[in-house]
Amino acid sequence: MPRGRRTTVATEGVKPEPGAGRFYMISVVSKAYGIHPQTLRLYEREGLLKPSRTDGNTRLYSEEDLRQLEVILNLTRDLGVNLAGVEIVLNMRHKMEQMQQEVGEFVTWVRQELARDAQEGWQERLQQALVRLPPTPLARASPEAARGPKAQPPGPAGG
């Protein structure tokens, strides 16, 4: 079979992490999604897709790459977003996913702290953490300060 004409899933000599799933060559992806291979190459040049490569430098698209491609095609075909807009949307999605992960980690930490406090007696820890201070009188301004600054006597004349 001529080089570049295979339509089977290529997994031999692949550098991606083991057990990551199946990988597809550019010809298979372009036919499956009805787009030209040059369009896929353009998306890669623009940084929208990052397919892995074999030792022979053949692009291999993972399942995650295909999900990303579906988002790109939805934005461009269905919503009319240009590639600059697609990049912004993808970056925002990535940041939102990071934030969701961070919030999830924070919620887990708060739950662990609450559980620990429930076991250790939080009221006792709270009493030990507070420092009692005697009440202090409120500072009041003197009547002179309330009237404003004093007028300075005029300096020597004729300078």
DSSP 6-40: --SPP-TTB-SPTT---EEEHHHHHHHHT--HHHH
What span, in angstroms and rounded, lies between the C-alpha atoms of 65 and 11?
A: 15
Q: How many CA atoms lie within 13 A of 17 on its CB side?
A: 3
SS3 106: helix
Q: What is the pLDDT of residue 138?
A: 74
Edge-first strand order for the sheet with 59-62 is 23-25, 59-62, 52-53
What span, in angstroms and rounded, lies between the C-alpha atoms of 60 and 53?
A: 6
Q: What is the pLDDT of residue 145?
A: 59
Per-residue pLDDT of the chain (159 residues; tens, 9 = 90+): 333 333 334 444 444 454 557 999 999 999 999 999 999 999 999 999 999 999 999 999 999 999 999 999 999 999 999 999 999 999 999 999 999 999 999 999 989 988 887 777 766 766 666 676 777 777 666 666 556 666 666 666 655
What span, in angstroms and rounded, lies between the C-alpha atoms of 146 and 68?
A: 68
Count, in order, helices (H) and strands (E) of the chain.
6, 3
Q: Both ends of the chain: CA-CA distance in Å?
A: 105
